[in-house]
Structure 1
Amino acid sequence: MITPSLDDLIELGAVQDAQGLQGQIKVRPHSADPVALLSSKELWLSLIPRRSAAIAVSHEQASLKLYKVKQAKMHSGTVLIALDGIIDRDQAEALKGARILVSRDVFPKVESDSYYWVDLIGCKAVNLQGESLGEVIDINDNGAHGVIALGDLETKTVKQLVPFVKEAVKSVDLPNKLITLDWQADW
C-alpha cells in the first residue's frame, strides 16, 4: 500500500492514553460529534507534531502507519478504539500522543444541507454587502461554538476570526466554495 501525503489526510484526534489491558487506545477527538472517527474502518497514526504555517512537514518526515479498526465507541467524551495488531497495554501506551488521520473520501456521506468543517477550508467568505473577507484558513471549536479564521490561504495569514454561529453565517454554498456572512470587513 502506498503511504498517502499528509495533505491527503484529515486529522480527527489524538491518542490520549491506553485504556484497559487489551490494547485499546483512548482518543481525544477534535469534534464534539466524531462520526467520521467512529465509522472509520482503518486509520493512519503519526507521531509527528501538528502542522503549522511555520513548519512544513514533508512526506519523508511523516512516520505514518496504517491500522485496521476492530472496534470504536464513545466513552465519557473520548473515543475508545481497538486496533488490529495492538494487543496489550504496553503497545497502546507506546502510541500516546499519536495523531489520528483518515482519508477525507472515507467520511460518511452527509445530508444535502450539512457539511464537514474541513470542507469549508478554502471557501471564499463575503459579507452581505458583497465585500470579500478572505478565504477560510482554519476552523476551531472554542467550546461554545466554532470559530473560522479568515485571511490569505496561500500565506496562512489570518485577518479575522469570525464566530461560526447562525447569527453570523447566513449561507454556505459548498459547490461554489462561498460562505456569506453577516460581518463587516473592519470588525
Structure 2
Amino acid sequence: MLIPGAEATIKGRHVLLYNFDVHVSAIQTFARLRRFKGPDWLVVAPHPFFPAPSSLGKRLLDEIDVFDAIEWSHFYTPKVDFNRKAAALAREVGLPLLGTSGSHLARQFGTTYSLVQGEPTVACVLSAIRKHQVQIVSHPLTLRAMTLIAAEIGLRDGWHRAKAALRPGLSPPERVHDALHLH
C-alpha cells in the first residue's frame, strides 16, 4: 500500500506530510503547520539528526508537539548511524518510529519500510502508526552504497540548481517523498 505524501521544507528544515489537504507552499512555518494540520494528517520528522542543514536537529525538540512520528531512515551503515539518536528521542517523547526508504533515487525505494497490522486503508494505517503498531524492516547500507547514493543525489541536485540559475523564471518541481511503503 502506498500513502501519498510530500517532503515540505519549513524554515529550511524537511518535514514529511502524509494525507494532508493543503498545498505544500501554504505551510511555510511551524505555526502554519499547527494551524493547518488536520486530525487525518500524519507529520513525520525525517532523518532528524542526519548532519545536513535541512535536518531538524535540535529544532525537533522545539517543535515536537506537531509531529506524529520520527523517521528511521534507510540511510545508514553499521558504523554510520544517525538513527540511534532519533530512536532514543522517540522513546523519550513517546512517538513511534516509522521506517521509510526515501525516494530521491528509485533504487532507494524499499530499502527500509514499515509493517503495519490492520486493514489496508489510509485511516487504519495512520491510526496504527499513531498507536505504535509499526514494525520496521531495515538493513544497513554498505559504505559504498551510501557513498554512491549521496554522490548521485548531490550531482542531480547540483544539476537542477544550475538549470534553475540559467532559467530564473522556472521554479524547481516539488519533491514528492516516497509514500509510506507498507507491506
TM over 0.5: no
Kindly indicate which of the two structures has a greater share of residues assigned to helix: 2
The interval holding the TM-score normalised by the smaller chain is under 0.3
Greater length-normalized contact order (CA 8 Å, ≥ 6 residues apart): 2
Query: TM-score, structure 2 length as denominator?
Result: 0.21
Q: Look at both structures and tell me which one has the larger radius of gyration over its CA atoms.
A: 1
TM-score, normalised to structure 1's length? 0.21
